[in-house]
Amino acid sequence: MSMKGIIVEDEFLAMEELDYLIGKNSSVQIVGKFEDGIDVLKFLQGNDVDVIFLDINIPSLDGVLLAKSVSKFANKPYIVFTTAYKEHAAEAFEIEAFDYILKPYHEPRIAAMLNKLEAAFAAKKQREEAEDFAIHAHGGAAGGTSQASAEASAVLAQANHRINLYKDDKIIVVDADDIYYASAQEKTTLVYTRKEEYTMHMSISDFQANLPQDKFFRCHRSYTVNLSKIREIVPWFNNTYLLRLRDVNAEVPVSRSKAKEFRQLMRI
């Protein structure tokens, strides 16, 4: 299923250039082009889209205010801001914009953003389909409940088995078990495998939701850890712990609020 998107841009040439680059470098279907923020809200009242390519400086309702309104929707589209001004970047990411593209446009940067966008959309759809399958399977006949539940679990496990990580504008697909731990870093999440570090432009809570929940434990507000990679559990102050991991030189904290749950998981 291809994504549906709209472009919101009050400069005609910039709008047409972005439309061309999207068509050339992705399968995203542009279903509307607008110059005014109010017109966008009217359109969205009767139409669903998956992504909005949004200029910040537009008439009637600027892009940031429009994005804040859209972020309250039940089914929130991805927001990709486009602007000539770097100073808007911090505010854009405060409302969890998917990306922020500076003008003038550079095709490699646009192409990398579109690749990342379509990968995120595909992963989201895969999770939703797996969850729908699980719900319908549990609602089946009593005689088939056990088999349906097993099939649902298998689908969910498969959906969570592969994780898209990003490095140098490339999408790196890794097995979830290759991830050792992740840590929150301001508005991003740093993800660590045995040899590499990746930066994800999402909160650690959102990243945790993509991981197999039976393998990864949110051990701290700023950390999640792969339980199978723990080499040593070191008692620390105030009934907390430090975790030392196999193969990597890292120590991951377990907060006091998570210590009891961690002890139960590890049977200590």
Cα separation of 183 and 179, whole Å? 12
Q: How many domains does the chain have?
A: 2
In a domain, 142, yes or no: no
pLDDT tens, position by position, 20-34: 999 999 999 999 999
pLDDT tens, position by position, 141-174: 444 444 544 444 444 444 446 787 877 767 787 8
Picking from 106, 40, 101, the residue whose alpha carbon sits closest to that of residue 68 is 40
Verify that 173 and 103 share a domain, yes or no. no
Helix (H, G, I), strand (E, B) or coil at 14: helix
- Which residues form the domain of 72? 4-115
In a domain, 261, yes or no: yes
Q: Is the pLDDT of residue 66 over 90?
A: no
Q: Is the Cβ–Cβ distance between 155 and 132 less than 8 Å?
A: no
Better-predicted residue by pLDDT, 85 or 186: 186
In a domain, 152, yes or no: no
In a domain, 216, yes or no: yes
Least confident span in 52-66, 219-233, 250-264:
52-66
Verify that 167 and 252 share a domain, yes or no. yes
Quote the tokens at residue 135.
């719900």
